[in-house]
Amino acid sequence: MSSLFPNLTYNSIYLTLPATLLIATLGLIAYRLTLHPLAHFPGTFEARLFDSWRNRRYRQGQWHEDVVQLHKKYGPAVRIAPNELSLVDADALRLLYNHGTKTIKTEWYTVWQAPNAGPALFSARDKNIHAYLRKRVSSAYTMSSMLRYEEYIQECLDVMLQKLKKHAQAGNDVDMAKWAGYLAFDIIGTLGYGAPLGMLETESDVMALQENIHQGFKLMSNMGHYWGQARWLTNPTTQKVLEILGVPNFFAMFDKWTADRLEVRRKSEGKEEREDMLSHFMKIKAPDGGPADDKDVLMEALNLIGAGADTTSIAMRACLYYLCKHPSAYRKVQQEIDEYYKSKNLQRPITYQQTLELPFFCAVVREATRLFPSIGFQLLRYAPEDIRVDGKTIPAGTAVGMSPMSANRDPKVWGDDAEDFNPSRWLGDEDKVRYLNTHDLTFGGTGSRTCIGRNIALVELHKFLAQFLHHFDAEFVDPEKPWTVHCVFFSNQSDMHVRIKYRGGLGGN
């Protein structure tokens, strides 16, 4: 080496390398603060320099609060990482998420693609693949299909109400965060697997399904921003090491359980006719027009859990939360439901279609889910051309996203009371309500951008809330700490302890 570089010694190399790294780091910092295409957008000092700020905040699980405060401080376009913007803007919402948009999902979504499986609807970034996947299952998720499945939903709801009645009569407080989860997951089991998962009956998280799914969501949603994403854990080498160490593979176990349920249904074909979502999934076609293989059927069953379970249980808790926080609204909507039962002489549980005849009830549902949508994280897209926010042009191809939690509180859309629980905003002026509908990001957008599980959530939510309010009074055990929220893509609530009083009207013991 000395013959090639006579003035270079090993000691000088040791001194030069750190100096070079320091200069490169300082140069990078200077570039990101001054010359970077996003340098003119505000944000925390750390976020403008490194991904670490966003990643750390995501891991801490309070993004549903962080993102709201972020926009209050910095405005409608905030730099949350060197190459990523968080937006709250009505025009940008239309360009990014409404029907007909040409925006593409960012690479973050690929973290949700299960290894050794066919493409999944949520993770599909190619528009043609996404359209194909949605089209082949869309009929199973239509509102007309949900109404055909309503009897199965009611069966699960009946079990829940009877269980709650016994707890109320025994004077027991109940954790409605758990009960909402039990109901939503049992209904998904009924529709997608042919039988309830058994959570309501056992009053437990069977197979630790909810806990494992939440941990999986936390892991995947965070690793989506790291190099290699989930491949660090899902590659065969890591899986083999975990197997040797005796670490259980929950997802493999659940795949087997799902496959077993599918086999049971196949054996019963021709013996019993049951029209549910599983029967539809078993009839879907492969791209070549032939029958889809079991992997595709299993993937759709798993998609159903992602699309319909947490979204619904979160909405149930949100509605109860805001009603318990506002007793006058609780009494008003309860009176509306009671009067409807009386005027219609209802001897059977109220149906979803009947709840649509209750204007204040529907307004409460819309307002509670607006204020607390299930999704807390950013819905990331690559910016199209000609997008301007707060007078600044966003370069095409920039990673941008909106959190429904912050978008649904934009005072420019929702008014000065954007953060207040005000169901009346959904009543009266039809043009205003139509405008609010187009700017409500609760279900992720409009048209093909809407969460495919929206109709499941609406039917379950309306039926649960109307029947619960008709049969029970409820109040928080501790109004100062009504619940705990941990954001892992979904803003999951826990420890929602409620004191319930049975009002009558349920049969059984």
Asked whether residue 92 falls in the same domain as residue 116, the answer is yes
DSSP-derived pairing of the beta strands 399-402 and 387-389: unpaired
Per-residue pLDDT at 247: 73
Whether residue 117 lies inside any domain: the answer is yes
Asked whether residue 61 falls in the same domain as residue 164, the answer is yes
**446 band by pLDDT with thresholds 50, 70 and 90:** low
Predicted confidence (pLDDT) at residue 2 exceeds the cutoff of 50: no
Predicted confidence (pLDDT) at residue 6 exceeds the cutoff of 60: no
Count structural domains, the chain: 2
Per-residue pLDDT at 271: 62
Per-residue pLDDT at 508: 66
Which residues touch 337 (CB under 8 Å, ≥6 apart)?
Answer: 350, 358, 361, 466, 469, 470
Asked whether residue 120 falls in the same domain as residue 265, the answer is yes
Question: What integer is the mean pLDDT of 404-419?
Answer: 96
Instruction: Choose among 374, 396, 403, 407: nearest CA to 91.
Output: 407
Whether residue 507 lies inside any domain: the answer is no
Question: What integer is the mean pLDDT of 472-498?
Answer: 97
Question: What integer is the mean pLDDT of 294-311?
Answer: 81
Whether residue 351 lies inside any domain: the answer is yes
Asked whether residue 3 falls in the same domain as residue 106, the answer is no
Give the tens place of pLDDT for each residue, 128-146.
888 888 888 888 899 999 9
Predicted confidence (pLDDT) at residue 93 exceeds the cutoff of 70: yes
Predicted confidence (pLDDT) at residue 294 exceeds the cutoff of 60: yes
Give the tens place of pLDDT for each residue, 114-130.
766 667 788 888 888 88
Looking up tokens 């690793």, which residue turns up? 223
Per-residue pLDDT at 428: 84
Name the percent of the chain lying above pLDDT 90.
Answer: 60
Whether residue 45 lies inside any domain: the answer is yes
Question: What CATH number does residue 345 fall under?
Answer: 1.10.630.10
Asked whether residue 28 falls in the same domain as residue 64, the answer is no
> Structure pTM?
0.92
Looking up tokens 């629980």, which residue turns up? 421
Per-residue pLDDT at 58: 95
Asked whether residue 160 falls in the same domain as residue 16, the answer is no
- Beta-carbon neighbour count of residue 462 at 10 Å? 23
Whether residue 508 lies inside any domain: the answer is no
Asked whether residue 259 falls in the same domain as residue 331, the answer is yes
Asked whether residue 117 falls in the same domain as residue 28, the answer is no
Cα torsion 344, 348, 354, 358: sign: positive
**487 band by pLDDT with thresholds 50, 70 and 90:** very high
Asked whether residue 197 falls in the same domain as residue 186, the answer is yes
Whether residue 509 lies inside any domain: the answer is no
Per-residue pLDDT at 496: 98
Predicted confidence (pLDDT) at residue 84 exceeds the cutoff of 60: yes
Task: Provide the CA 124 distance to its chain's centre, in angstroms.
Answer: 16
Per-residue pLDDT at 246: 76
Asked whether residue 300 falls in the same domain as residue 174, the answer is yes
Per-residue pLDDT at 482: 97
Helix axes 176-193, 150-169, angle to 10 degrees: 150
Length reported for the chain = 509
Per-residue pLDDT at 260: 81
Q: What are phi and psi of 353, to 5 degrees?
A: -60, -35
Question: In whole numbers, what is the pLDDT of the chain averaged over residues?
Answer: 89
* 274-278-279-282 Cα dihedral, nearest 10 degrees: -150
Asked whether residue 134 falls in the same domain as residue 153, the answer is yes
Give the tens place of pLDDT for each residue, 236-270.
888 778 778 777 776 677 777 777 878 887 877 66
Domain region containing 11:
1-35
Asked whether residue 346 falls in the same domain as residue 218, the answer is yes
Predicted confidence (pLDDT) at residue 4 exceeds the cutoff of 50: no
